[in-house]
Amino acid sequence: MDAMRAFCPRPGCDTIVQVRAASPAHCPNCKHDFCSQCNQEWHGGITCEAAAASSSMGGAGAPLLADSELIKLCPMCRVPIEKDEGCAQMMCKRCKHVFCWYCLASLDDDFLLRHYDKGPCKNKLGHSRASVLWHRAQVVGIFAGFGLLLLVASPLLLLAAPCIVCCKCRLCNPNTKNLEEVDEIESISPGREDEDRTRYLAE
């Protein structure tokens, strides 16, 4: 999306809003005014950093983040996300970014959820140990299956490669052979016509 448009950050809206410099972005759908730079409530005359600090202390924008335990901003696109139930592995519906609810660390590449094995978020995923192990076994099984499929398919592709190349060869292509036979017939035909003409004149 270009710099002159932005999504409305109000949960459930996601309307595309026209952005004007030094002016609040106004959503025509939900009538919400916000800053297009930080997606917080409009804070005219105050920097985004100052507004964020003020909202964390209960100032401007506090109603949006009134309960930091239930509502947090996506670390990637800054859209407000509410957590009412489920585990600590969150996915933003707008940008599809996966992150930890507690420390906002990125989990985009953590397929095995190792983030919750150590550190301040240890054992805070919200699932039992058995379910985590089952999830990891499924992920490992998928990767192992792809590897096994590739291992089995590689020799077959090597065996099939000469046949594929041979099928495109002129010597093995029946259509090419027919064209060559036609060329030979056409090259022989003029000589035969001369012989027939000579015999006719002799008679």
pLDDT tens digits, residue range 60-84?
334 444 445 678 888 888 888 888 7
Task: Give catalytic residue positions.
Answer: 87
Output the CA angle 63-61-99, nearest 5 degrees.
85
More confident residue, 90 or 145: 90
Strand partners, 72: 81
The SS3 of residue 33 is strand
Q: Average pLDDT of 114-121?
A: 85
Of 46-55, 57-66, 148-157, the range with the lowest mean pLDDT is 57-66
Query: Which DSSP category does 16 fall into?
Result: E
Contacts for 81 with CB less than 8 Å, ≥ 6 apart:
11, 71, 72, 73, 74, 90, 92
Give the Cα separation of 87 and 107 in Å (integer): 13
Give the pLDDT score at 34.
Answer: 83
The SS3 of residue 83 is coil
Share of the chain above pLDDT 90, in %: 2
CB-CB neighbours of 15 under 10 Å? 13
Q: Which helix (H) or strand (E) holds 143?
A: helix 129-167
Please, where are the H alpha helices in 7-82?
Answer: 48-56
Give the Cα separation of 8 and 15 in Å (integer): 5
Of 6-15, 111-120, 143-152, 166-175, the range with the lowest mean pLDDT is 166-175
pTM exceeds 0.75:
no
Strand partners, 25: 34
Give the pLDDT score at 67.
Answer: 45
Contacts for 44 with CB less than 8 Å, ≥ 6 apart:
24
Give the Cα separation of 177 and 141 in Å (integer): 50
* Phi and psi torsions of 3, nearest 5°: -70, -10
Which tokens belong to 198? Answer: 């000579």
> pLDDT band at 99, cuts 50/70/90?
very high
